[in-house]
Amino acid sequence: MEYFHKPVLLAEVLKQLRCTNGSIVIDCTLGGAGHAEAILDLITPEGFLLGIDQDIAALDAARVRLARFSQQNFSLVRGNFSELDRILAEVGLYAIDGVLFDLGVSSVQFDRAERGFSYRFDAPLDMRMDQRQALTAFDVVNAYSRGDLTCVIKEYGEERWANRIAAFIIKARQNRPIATTFELVDVIKDAIPAPARRRGGHPAKQMFQALRIEVNGEIKILERSFRDAIKWLRPGGRLVILSYHSLEDRVAKNVINDLSKGCICPPGLPVCTCGHMPQLSVVTRKVVRPTPGEIAENPRAESARLRAAEKL
Ligand SMILES: C[S@@+](CC[C@H](N)C(=O)[O-])C[C@H]1O[C@@H](n2cnc3c(N)ncnc32)[C@H](O)[C@@H]1O
- Residue 102 annotated as part of some ligand binding site: yes
Predicted confidence (pLDDT) per residue in 52-95, tens digit: 999 999 999 999 999 999 999 999 999 999 999 999 999 999 89
Examine the fold and report which residue of 165, 194, 215 is the final residue of a domain before the chain moves on: 215
For the segment 225-247, the average pLDDT, to the nearest whole number, is 97
Distance between CA 206 and CA 161 in Å, rounded? 10
Residue in 30, 127, 245 to alter for ligand 1 test, most ligand atoms within 8 A of Cβ: 30
Distance between CA 194 and CA 206 in Å, rounded? 16
Using CA atoms, how far residue 275 sits from 57, 262, 265, 270, 272, in Å, is 47, 8, 9, 14, 7
DSSP 245-277: SHHHHHHHHHHHHHHT----PPTT-SS--S---
For the segment 248-265, the average pLDDT, to the nearest whole number, is 95
Distance between CA 29 and CA 15 in Å, rounded? 18
pLDDT, residue 297, reads: 94
**Same-domain pairing of 79 and 130:** no
Distance between CA 118 and CA 217 in Å, rounded? 18
Predicted confidence (pLDDT) per residue in 287-300, tens digit: 999 999 999 999 99
Tally of residues, the chain: 312
- Residue 34 annotated as part of some ligand binding site: yes
Does residue 5 lie in a domain region? Answer: no
**Same-domain pairing of 305 and 262:** yes
pLDDT, residue 193, reads: 87
Distance between CA 142 and CA 58 in Å, rounded? 28
Does residue 193 lie in a domain region? Answer: yes
With beta carbons less than 8 A apart as the criterion, state whether 126 and 136 touch.
yes
Alpha helices in 176-233 (DSSP H): 181-191, 194-198, 205-215, 222-231
Domain of residue 130, residue span = 113-215
**Same-domain pairing of 223 and 208:** no
Does residue 2 lie in a domain region? Answer: no
- Residue 33 annotated as part of some ligand binding site: yes
Examine the fold and report which residue of 193, 215, 237 is the final residue of a domain before the chain moves on: 215
Predicted confidence (pLDDT) per residue in 18-32, tens digit: 999 999 999 999 999
**Same-domain pairing of 185 and 236:** no
Ligand 1 atom 20: the closest Cα is on which residue?
80
**Same-domain pairing of 208 and 129:** yes
pLDDT, residue 90, reads: 96
Give the amino acid at 221: I
Give the amino acid at 17: L
**CA dihedral angle for residue 250, residue 252, residue 255, residue 260, rounded to 10 degrees:** -110
Q: Which residues contact 240 (CB under 8 A, 6 or more apart)?
A: 13, 16, 17, 98, 99, 100, 101, 306, 307, 308
pLDDT, residue 3, reads: 58
- Calculate how far, in angstroms, residue 104's C-alpha sits from the geometric centre of ligand 1: 6
Does residue 1 lie in a domain region? Answer: no
Does residue 3 lie in a domain region? Answer: no
Predicted confidence (pLDDT) per residue in 170-181, tens digit: 999 999 999 999
On the question of pLDDT at 107 being above 90, the answer is no
Coil, strand or helix at 95: coil
- Calculate how far, in angstroms, residue 271's C-alpha sits from the geometric centre of ligand 1: 45
- Residue 53 annotated as part of some ligand binding site: yes
Domain count, the chain: 2
Greater model confidence, 202 or 132: 132
On the question of pLDDT at 45 being above 80, the answer is yes
With beta carbons less than 8 A apart as the criterion, state whether 65 and 37 touch.
yes
Lowest mean pLDDT among 7-16, 198-207, 252-261: 198-207
* CATH at residue 120: 1.10.150.170
On the question of pLDDT at 4 being above 60, the answer is yes
Distance between CA 286 and CA 308 in Å, rounded? 10
Distance between CA 123 and CA 181 in Å, rounded? 6
Name the band, by pLDDT with cuts 50, 70 and 90, for residue 270: confident
On the question of pLDDT at 252 being above 90, the answer is yes
CA 209 to mean position of chain CA atoms: 12
* CATH at residue 243: 3.40.50.150
**Same-domain pairing of 22 and 44:** yes
Supply φ then ψ for residue 59, to 5 degrees: -65, -40
pLDDT, residue 1, reads: 53
pLDDT, residue 286, reads: 93
Predicted confidence (pLDDT) per residue in 47-57, tens digit: 999 999 999 99
For the segment 227-242, the average pLDDT, to the nearest whole number, is 98
Q: Is the peptide bond before 45 cis (omega within 30 degrees of 0)?
A: yes
Supply φ then ψ for residue 51, to 5 degrees: -110, 130
pLDDT, residue 2, reads: 61
Name the band, by pLDDT with cuts 50, 70 and 90, for residue 110: confident
On the question of pLDDT at 106 being above 80, the answer is yes
Ligand 1 atom 22: the closest Cα is on which residue?
53
Examine the fold and report which residue of 199, 215, 231 is the final residue of a domain before the chain moves on: 215
pLDDT, residue 224, reads: 98
Does residue 291 lie in a domain region? Answer: yes
Q: Which residues line ligand 1 (CB under 6 A)?
A: 5, 7, 29, 31-35, 52-55, 58, 80-82, 102, 104-106, 129, 221
